[in-house]
Structure 1
Amino acid sequence: MRRLPVLLCTAMVLGAASVAVAAPVATVPVADHHQLLYSPAAAAYLSATATLRPVSARDLIPQLDAAGIARAAVLSVAHVYGLPENSAGEEYARVRAENDWAARQAAEFPDRLVALCSVDPLKDYALAELARCAASEEFGRGIKLHPGPGGIRSDDPEQLERVQRVFRSANARGMAIVLQLRETGPRQARLLIEQLLPHAPDVPVQVAYSGAAQGDSARQIAALAVLADAAARQDPRMRQVWFDVASFARPGLSPAEARKLVRRLRQVGMERVLYGSDAAAGADVRPGEAWAAFRGLPLTDAEAARVAGNVMPYLR
């Protein structure tokens, strides 16, 4: 009987030690999955609608260092040359040049940066540019698909077939897909699940969002709900889908929206959630600030640590 208190104390000490070891808290992400660089040409081109400045790899690396982030995916902004409001001659030549510029920037810091080319999958040259980037060792094993305004129309068979061909081509070449959703209501989410994912069953698909800073968070959360429901019911089409949702965590997100977002992320599973700054031209949201905003969501330390440790195959 006199040994019982000793045994109890020993068990309590061991239990406390095991808890301390089992619950590390990651303070910073391993990788930033959504960084943007702008060449002088792209910055000047886009300045027709907003004043932007170039952003190079040498601008980005100090920001990553300040945040303690080891690696980043540089997503080319070449797709902007296809936007209707910016249309100009030699569109495909400009797209190729911007993609190549991003690759050269990443090559200056090969241990830190990986460049992914980008293209509007609705363009006639989309398949050619995907094949060109896939054949080049300068690019990572992924491509950013950024449809123009209005997104992909499910009621337009020709549009849908164009994007499906791009998905099939990426799948055949083993290239991860980063899909930027625009006009992100539930319709686009259902289109992704039903019409696009079946055409790329063997590669990771990173779903990225845009526009939350402009008050579109409610529509984005509604779209995320469609994807989260599919993930929760273990829809096989969702097997390799990841979620780049850092753009949700911006000033102006109400506490109610933050709770809804976290509920959906838990439904998805934190092992599928990626950190990404999604910084605009001029780096108005730096990597450390974007992570701090994400940590402002009502997540547990363990959930945040899981997100911080997630890394897509093209960055490993």
Structure 2
Amino acid sequence: MKHYSQRAAALIFFLVLAVNLKAQVKPNYYTDYHVHLQDSATVQLGYRMLKAFHLKATKMDSLCFDADTIIGRLDKAKFHSAWIISNAYWFGSPATPVKNEYLEVKKQNDWIAAQAAQYPDRLKAFMSINPLKPYAIKEIERCAVTKRFTGLKLHFANSKVNLFDKAQVKQLQKVFAVANKYKLLLLVHFRNSEKWEGAANTKILLKQILPFAKNTKVVIAHMAGWGGYDRQSDKALRLISAYLHSNKEPGSNLFLDVSAVFPLDENSNHTKSVKRNTTWHQLIALKKQIKKIGTDHIVFGTDWPLIDIGPYIEMLNKNLGEQTTRQILNTRVIAD
């Protein structure tokens, strides 16, 4: 009986130890830094937007995606969290005017906050607006004071931003300043058109706009492009790299996300000239810029529902290598 008791006690000890060890094992804390949700209003407007841009709808364009959808895909990929982005800026786009615009913008921002609130430790809400609208500052402040939002998403292409317009630059300075005031992270789709001068636009961003958000972090989406990779994106990254590593202009709060970069020829309009000129190779140029910038300033993102986590990691592994991909996955951007 004594021998049996000793064996039972030992078994209990090891069971307790195993449970404690299991509790101490932390899940992967990877984050998808670029995720879109879709409610029914977004789906309906999305069809109008696709038509306006002469694009064909896919099955994904007709589906609604909520917080549970995102948590399911995060769990499947063994990811911990995601930045979920409001589609409110769609409702302020000049390409697809809507009735009661500001009301619809508020509805979208409130909806994304409600979705994030279901999983507060895993989903971070990003409000969005067309920064050129008269209500832009008012809406950022309305959302910010609720403390339900981690950041602000700006989409220069969808909002028809022109950085060569001085009045627009002044407005963007105000927007960046109010985001800075409330310590909102900024996620910026920077490229604004097909005919886009990478170097000239980037100079304006770095010199005239970023100084208004010195106390928060800024993530430039799609490696400064808008899908794929071309010469103009490469020119933008050259200046961003120099900015990040300049003693005069420390760039510790500036990051880029790698969402939608692969496949590199995603947008054929941007790659025709590349195919004709065999002296410039997209992947070689991109890898060179990533090395210069450093993976500590590059974060992972999928631009869901464009692609899911697993397939996109496979693309990154194939093109950038597993070591570089792992380093990007480990890069963190956290609100101060």
Q: TM-score interval w.r.t. the shorter chain?
A: 0.7 to 0.9
Q: 1:103 aligns with which of 101, 113, 128?
A: 113
SS in 1 for 2:211: helix
Q: 1:133-167 CA distances to partner (integer Å, 9 max, x unpaired)?
A: 11113222x11122344853333221111000111
Equivalence for 1:11: none
Equivalence for 1:144: 153
Normalising by structure 2, we get a TM-score of 0.77
1:211 equivalenced with 2:226 (yes/no): yes
Equivalence for 1:39: 39
Aligned in 2, Cα 1:284/1:298: closer, same or farther, shift over 3 Å? closer
Using the TM superposition, give the Cα deviation of residue 72 of structure 1 relative to its aligned residue in structure 2, in angstroms. Answer: 0.4
Equivalence for 1:85: 95
Using the TM superposition, give the Cα deviation of residue 256 of structure 1 relative to its aligned residue in structure 2, in angstroms. Answer: 2.6
Q: 1:182 aligns with which of 167, 191, 194?
A: 191
1:268 equivalenced with 2:293 (yes/no): yes
Using the TM superposition, give the Cα deviation of residue 246 of structure 1 relative to its aligned residue in structure 2, in angstroms. Answer: 2.4
Aligned in 2, Cα 1:60/1:149: closer, same or farther, shift over 3 Å? closer
Letter in 2 for 1:313: I
Letter in 1 for 2:45: Y
1:159 equivalenced with 2:168 (yes/no): yes
Equivalence for 1:296: 318
Q: 1:234-261 CA distances to partner (integer Å, 9 max, x unpaired)?
A: 4525231011122212263799312211
Distance 2:157 2:100 in 1: 18
Alignment check: 8 A CA contact 2:264 2:283 kept: no
Using the TM superposition, give the Cα deviation of residue 109 of structure 1 relative to its aligned residue in structure 2, in angstroms. Answer: 1.9
SS in 2 for 1:110: coil
Q: How does 1:21-60 map to 2 (within 5 A)?
A: 30-50=30-50, 51=57, 52-53=61-62, 54-60=64-70
Alignment check: 8 A CA contact 1:178 1:206 kept: yes
Alignment check: 8 A CA contact 1:120 1:148 kept: no
The answer to which of 284-293 and 250-259 deviates more is 250-259
Normalising by structure 1, we get a TM-score of 0.82
Aligned in 2, Cα 1:132/1:241: closer, same or farther, shift over 3 Å? same
Q: Radius of gyration: which is bigger? A: 2
Alignment check: 8 A CA contact 2:157 2:189 kept: no
Distance 1:163 1:76 in 2: 19
Equivalence for 1:12: none
In structure 1, stretches of 5+ residues that fail to align are 1-27
SS in 1 for 2:288: helix
Alignment check: 8 A CA contact 1:79 1:118 kept: yes
Identity rate of aligned residues, in percent? 25
Alignment check: 8 A CA contact 1:32 1:71 kept: yes
Alignment check: 8 A CA contact 2:132 2:168 kept: yes
Distance 1:34 1:42 in 2: 17
Q: 1:86-105 CA distances to partner (integer Å, 9 max, x unpaired)?
A: 11221111111011111111
Using the TM superposition, give the Cα deviation of residue 212 of structure 1 relative to its aligned residue in structure 2, in angstroms. Answer: 1.6
Equivalence for 1:7: none
Letter in 2 for 1:80: W
Using the TM superposition, give the Cα deviation of residue 300 of structure 1 relative to its aligned residue in structure 2, in angstroms. Answer: 5.6
1:170 equivalenced with 2:185 (yes/no): no
Alignment check: 8 A CA contact 2:89 2:158 kept: no
1:313 equivalenced with 2:323 (yes/no): no
Letter in 2 for 1:287: I
Q: How does 1:106-125 map to 2 (within 5 A)?
A: 106-125=116-135
1:285 equivalenced with 2:307 (yes/no): yes
The higher relative CO (CA closer than 8 Å, separation ≥ 6) is in: 1
The answer to which of 59-68 and 246-255 deviates more is 246-255
Using the TM superposition, give the Cα deviation of residue 74 of structure 1 relative to its aligned residue in structure 2, in angstroms. Answer: 0.2
Residue-pair matches, total: 282
Aligned in 2, Cα 1:147/1:211: closer, same or farther, shift over 3 Å? closer
Distance 1:181 1:263 in 2: 21
Letter in 1 for 2:283: A
In structure 2, stretches of 5+ residues that fail to align are 1-27, 51-56, 267-274
